[in-house]
């Protein structure tokens, strides 16, 4: 019978232990991947010392073969994983393994974080203030009929007020809306007063593009209909909005104007935020800048929407998002908003 001791003393095992010792020593001295490979070949390669012993196992006495087989495999596996581990260590230290041209001393590459387009942000800021006054936000279609863009808003067929609203016409009597005032008719047709809404969106005009005009731009309209609404309410709301949006020291001024869908109508000017009303390049030395149109909703518009003008009254206002943004951020060319130039977009 063989016990562990006698097995340890067999020639094969003594031989195996010697190889293992030798391999261990060589591994400790190995300084590069090439010498690791040489060790692997010497002991574990096709004709390697340990491989050769494995090959001879068949000729070993049957009753000790399994034990010797196990010792051989254990030594082989241990050696193989030590070589792998050492290889990993060497590779992580070896700079020649880094991708070609990689210089660890270079500063990191900055990842750009996207943000909202300035127009989207300004549009949201405008609406958020009105929403804080209790207004609801609504949106409507860009493609409209003549009725919602003009007739419903009291623009007669051949009225000169249409001249400022030349647009793009589509088949079937449809057109691209020239203002978001269309929402007055949409909302008042479907919902009964009292109500107050703001309506942001894209609008279109058949205009030549220059520093202050574009064929697509954005507007925010708003209106309030209730019982006993008067011009003082309109002034109060807009003055409050101006102070929240531009700053508490900014003054408002209302100048008579004309829109077919309001009566009376006015333009709202604010004191120039750049010179505090003293006069500068931006306000063209006047101290004032025009920022929106407004007025009391014309009774004809209410009637068109089956709202009784004897009982209900309301005010409305409308402003250009680009115009307001240009004034707030001192931007002198509307085209900058649409050119996708990050040098511009990043500044706002
Ligand atoms: N819709 C007008 C325009 O595009 C602006 C406007 C003026 C809207 C007065 C209003 C308003 O709601 O009351 O020129």
Q: What is the pLDDT of residue 100?
A: 66
Q: Please identify, by atom number, the ligand 1 atom nearest to the C-alpha of residue 318.
A: 8
Sign of the CA dihedral running 342, 343, 346, 348: negative
Q: What is the pLDDT of residue 242?
A: 98
Whether 73 and 141 map to the same domain: the answer is no
How far does residue 162's CA lie from ligand 1's centre (Å)? 13
Whether 135 and 10 map to the same domain: the answer is no
- The first and second tokens of residue 226, run together, are 């209730």
How much is the CA Rg of the chain, to the nearest whole Å? 41
Whether 93 and 122 map to the same domain: the answer is no
How far does residue 317's CA lie from ligand 1's centre (Å)? 6
Whether 71 and 139 map to the same domain: the answer is no
Backbone angles phi, psi at 212, to 5 degrees: -120, 0
Mean pLDDT within 107-119? 90
Length of the chain: 348
Q: Hey, which of 259, 290, 301, 319 would you mutate to test ligand 1's pocket, going by the most ligand atoms within 8 Å of its Cβ?
A: 259
Mean pLDDT within 304-315? 98
Higher-confidence residue of 14 and 187: namely 187
Statement: residue 217 has pLDDT above 60: yes
State the Cα–Cα distance between residues 205 and 178, nearest whole angstrom: 6
Statement: residue 98 has pLDDT above 80: no
What pLDDT digit, counting tens, does each position of 256-266 carry? 999 999 999 99
Strand runs (DSSP E) across the chain, as ranges? 136-137, 143-145, 174-176, 195-204, 216-226, 252-259, 262-271, 288-297, 313-320
- Overall domain count for the chain: 2
Statement: residue 1 has pLDDT above 60: no
Q: What is the pLDDT of residue 96?
A: 63
**Confidence band, pLDDT 50/70/90 cuts, at residue 130:** very high
Enumerate residues lining ligand 1, CB below 6 A: 179, 181, 221, 259, 262, 293-295, 316-318
For 21, other C-beta atoms within 10 Å of its C-beta total 10
Q: Is 105 within a domain?
A: no
**Confidence band, pLDDT 50/70/90 cuts, at residue 273:** very high
3-state secondary structure of 158: coil
Q: Please identify, by atom number, the ligand 1 atom nearest to the C-alpha of residue 315.
A: 13
Nearest Cα neighbor of 251 from 261, 262, 240 is: 240
Q: Please identify, by atom number, the ligand 1 atom nearest to the C-alpha of residue 178.
A: 4
From 28-42, 112-126, 306-320, 322-336, the region with the lowest mean pLDDT: 28-42
How far does residue 15's CA lie from ligand 1's centre (Å)? 100
Mean pLDDT within 189-208? 97
Q: What is the pLDDT of residue 11?
A: 85
Q: What is the pLDDT of residue 110?
A: 86
What pLDDT digit, counting tens, does each position of 21-32 carry? 999 999 888 888
Q: What is the pLDDT of residue 94?
A: 65
Whether 202 and 316 map to the same domain: the answer is yes
Sign of the CA dihedral running 198, 211, 286, 120: positive
Whether 254 and 326 map to the same domain: the answer is yes
Nearest CA to ligand 1 atom 4: 179
pTM to 2 decimals? 0.71
Q: What is the pLDDT of residue 292?
A: 98
Whether 200 and 293 map to the same domain: the answer is yes
Statement: residue 150 has pLDDT above 70: yes
**CATH label of the domain that carries residue 245:** 3.30.930.10
Q: Please identify, by atom number, the ligand 1 atom nearest to the C-alpha of residue 316.
A: 13
Statement: residue 93 has pLDDT above 80: no
Statement: residue 91 has pLDDT above 90: no
Q: What is the pLDDT of residue 9?
A: 83
How far does residue 318's CA lie from ligand 1's centre (Å)? 4
How far does residue 230's CA lie from ligand 1's centre (Å)? 18
Q: Hey, which of 188, 317, 320 would you mutate to test ligand 1's pocket, going by the most ligand atoms within 8 Å of its Cβ?
A: 317
How far does residue 232's CA lie from ligand 1's centre (Å)? 18
- The first and second tokens of residue 289, run together, are 């800048």
Nearest CA to ligand 1 atom 3: 179
**Confidence band, pLDDT 50/70/90 cuts, at residue 67:** confident
How far does residue 27's CA lie from ligand 1's centre (Å)? 85
Mean pLDDT within 210-214? 93
Q: Please identify, by atom number, the ligand 1 atom nearest to the C-alpha of residue 164.
A: 14
State the Cα–Cα distance between residues 177 and 185, nearest whole angstrom: 13
Of 64, 97, 130, the residue that ends a domain is 97
Q: What is the pLDDT of residue 153?
A: 98
Q: What is the mean pLDDT of the chain?
A: 93
Range(s) of the domain holding residue 278: 118-345
Q: Please identify, by atom number, the ligand 1 atom nearest to the C-alpha of residue 203.
A: 4
How far does residue 314's CA lie from ligand 1's centre (Å)? 14
Whether 224 and 315 map to the same domain: the answer is yes
How far does residue 23's CA lie from ligand 1's centre (Å)? 90
How far does residue 175's CA lie from ligand 1's centre (Å)? 18
How far does residue 204's CA lie from ligand 1's centre (Å)? 14
Whether 78 and 131 map to the same domain: the answer is no
Q: What is the pLDDT of residue 59?
A: 86
Whether 77 and 198 map to the same domain: the answer is no
Q: Give Cα 271 to chain centroid, integer Å.
A: 34
Of 97, 130, 146, the residue that ends a domain is 97
Sign of the CA dihedral running 28, 30, 32, 34: negative
Whether 158 and 304 map to the same domain: the answer is yes
Helix axes 231-246, 321-329, angle to 10 degrees: 50
Statement: residue 311 has pLDDT above 90: yes
Statement: residue 10 has pLDDT above 90: no
Q: Please identify, by atom number, the ligand 1 atom nearest to the C-alpha of residue 261.
A: 13
Statement: residue 347 has pLDDT above 70: yes
Nearest CA to ligand 1 atom 7: 293
Whether 29 and 170 map to the same domain: the answer is no
Residues 200 and 218 sit within 8 Å (Cβ to Cβ)? yes
């Amino acid at each position: 019978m063989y016990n562990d001791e006698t097995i340890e003393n067999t020639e094969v095992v003594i031989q195996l232990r010697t190889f293992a010792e030798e391999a261990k020593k060589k591994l400790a001295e190995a300084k590069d991947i090439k010498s690791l490979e040489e060790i692997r070949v010497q002991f574990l390669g096709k004709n390697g010392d340990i491989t050769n012993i494995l090959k001879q196992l068949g000729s070993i006495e049957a009753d000790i073969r399994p034990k010797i087989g196990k010792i051989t495999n254990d030594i082989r596996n241990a050696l193989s994983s030590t070589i792998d581990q050492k290889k990993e260590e060497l590779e992580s230290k070896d700079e020649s393994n880094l991708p070609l041209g990689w210089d660890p001393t270079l500063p990191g590459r900055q990842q750009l974080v996207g943000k909202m387009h300035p127009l989207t942000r300004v549009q949201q800021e405008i609406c958020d203030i009105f929403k804080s006054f209790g207004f609801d936000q609504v949106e409507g279609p860009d493609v409209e009929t003549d009725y919602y863009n003009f007739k419903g808003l009291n623009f007669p067929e051949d009225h000169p007020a249409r001249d400022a609203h030349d647009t793009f016409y589509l088949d079937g009597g449809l057109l691209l809306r020239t203002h978001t005032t269309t929402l007055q008719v949409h909302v008042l047709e479907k919902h009964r007063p009292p109500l107050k809404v703001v309506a942001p969106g894209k609008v279109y005009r058949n205009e030549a593009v220059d520093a202050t005009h574009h064929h697509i731009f954005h507007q925010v309209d708003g209106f309030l209909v209730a019982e006993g609404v008067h011009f003082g309410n309109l002034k109060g709301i807009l003055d409050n909005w101006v102070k929240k949006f531009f700053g508490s020291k900014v003054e408002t001024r209302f100048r008579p104007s004309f829109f077919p869908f309001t009566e009376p109508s006015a333009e709202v000017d604010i004191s120039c935020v750049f010179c505090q009303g003293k006069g500068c390049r931006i306000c063209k030395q006047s101290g004032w800048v025009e920022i929106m149109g407004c007025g009391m909703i014309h009774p004809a518009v209410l009637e068109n929407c089956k709202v009784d003008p004897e009982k209900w009254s309301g005010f409305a206002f409308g402003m250009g998002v680009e115009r307001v943004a240009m004034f707030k951020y001192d931007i002198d060319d509307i085209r900058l908003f649409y050119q996708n130039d990050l040098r511009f977009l990043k500044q706002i």
